[in-house]
Amino acid sequence: MQNKNKTPPKAHHARTVFASLFGTLAVFLILSSVISVWLNRTLTDTKTYVAVVGPLATKPDIQNFIAKKASEALAKNVPPQDAAVALLPPSALQQTPEQINAQLQPIVYSNVLKVISSPTFATIWTQANQTAHSSLVNQLNSDNDQLQLNLNPVIVAVTKQLSTTDLAPVAGEIEISPDMGQVNLQGTGISKAHSYYKLFKRSTIVIVVAALLSLAASIALSVHHLKTIRRILIATGVMLLLLAASIQAPSIIAIKLTDVETQKAMVVIMQSIFHNLQIASLIGGLGCIIVAIGTKVFEKLNRPSKT
């Protein structure tokens, strides 16, 4: 005899379709929520942003970048002969310009690095990034598909500190052009940052609530609730792991640059800025997949044995 309470196949099919639609929407909204919260916690909060980029003052790639720019400024503004008179012994003045430059370069570079390795530079770096943060937020509000990191104030401050080193006789002649230390960033990562930032400003709370409601609707409409939860967990886990992997991809950020030192410095900065998002995505993705597998194992272990 047929069970009258049994749900018709067509009803099962309709529930499965709607559960799948809500499940897909939930995964997308969960991913959007993670990125939006990261933007709020890192890029739009000055204190957190400075805490993220502040420690970079001790990174060799950052120090080499600033040292190279400051050294270039000195070479551009101070004639080699004047620098040689101030920095080299009298006997060196009889040498060729190439020989003089070869002796000046290590002296200039070592003195610049002396400033950059001091505690004063850490303060300069932090203050410059606090000022730059408001500019960064303004750029995120714009429709431009790139961001500009302006490290010009750092270079200016470092050159002023050269008056405390052996370069004091020529330090006053150094002038820093406004565009020195400015780097344009673009790429898929920047475009997404713009999009999600605007999305965050308008409706982050709405997105989080919508994600929870979509998740609840998907589970409620599904025929097999636990199986639906597992599928959503696995899909969310995979998407989060892909997000974590994409942050490491070279194409995530394209840098308009002219030298290797700038490339290395910008990579270090962008990796630090995106680091929290990458870690959160990695932990969240692995957590979702582990929970999904764990529920499956638990279900099998507790399944009544057939007798």
Domain of 70 in residue numbering reads as 60-188
Please give the angle made by the CA atoms of 85, 87 and 91, to the nearest 5 degrees.
Answer: 60
Same-domain status, 174 and 227 = no
Domain assignment present for 283: yes
Task: Please check the confidence at residue 280 and state whether its pLDDT lies above 60.
Answer: yes
Domain assignment present for 51: no
Predicted confidence at residue 185, as pLDDT, reads 67
Predicted confidence at residue 166, as pLDDT, reads 83
Predicted confidence at residue 290, as pLDDT, reads 94
- C-alpha dihedral over 275, 277, 279, 280, to 10 degrees? 160
Same-domain status, 166 and 70 = yes
Q: Both tokens of residue 111?
A: 């003195």
Domain assignment present for 52: no
Same-domain status, 178 and 230 = no
| Antiparallel, parallel or unpaired: β 146-150 and 254-256 | unpaired
Do 232 and 215 meet the contact criterion of CB atoms below 8 Å apart? Answer: yes
Domain count, the chain: 2
Q: What's the whole-model pTM score?
A: 0.69
Confidence grade of residue 19 (pLDDT, cut at 50, 70, 90): confident
Nearest to 35 by CA among 216, 243, 219: 243
Q: Both tokens of residue 65?
A: 């970048």
Predicted confidence at residue 275, as pLDDT, reads 85
Same-domain status, 206 and 267 = yes
Concatenated DSSP letters of 241-277: HHHHHHHHSGGG-EEE-SSHHHHHHHHHHHHHHHHHH
Domain assignment present for 55: no
User: Which of 161, 188, 215 is at the close of a domain?
Assistant: 188
Q: What are 28-38's pLDDT values in tens digits?
A: 888 888 887 78
Task: Please check the confidence at residue 211 and state whether its pLDDT lies above 50.
Answer: yes
The CA–CA distances, whole Å, from 177 to 73, 104, 132, 182, 266 equal: 8, 22, 17, 10, 20
User: Which of 134, 158, 188 is at the close of a domain?
Assistant: 188
Q: What are 134-173's pLDDT values in tens digits?
A: 777 777 777 666 677 788 888 888 888 888 888 888 888 8
Same-domain status, 118 and 209 = no
Give the list of residues 6+ apart from residue 148 with CB closer than 8 angstroms, or none. 135, 139, 182, 183, 184, 185
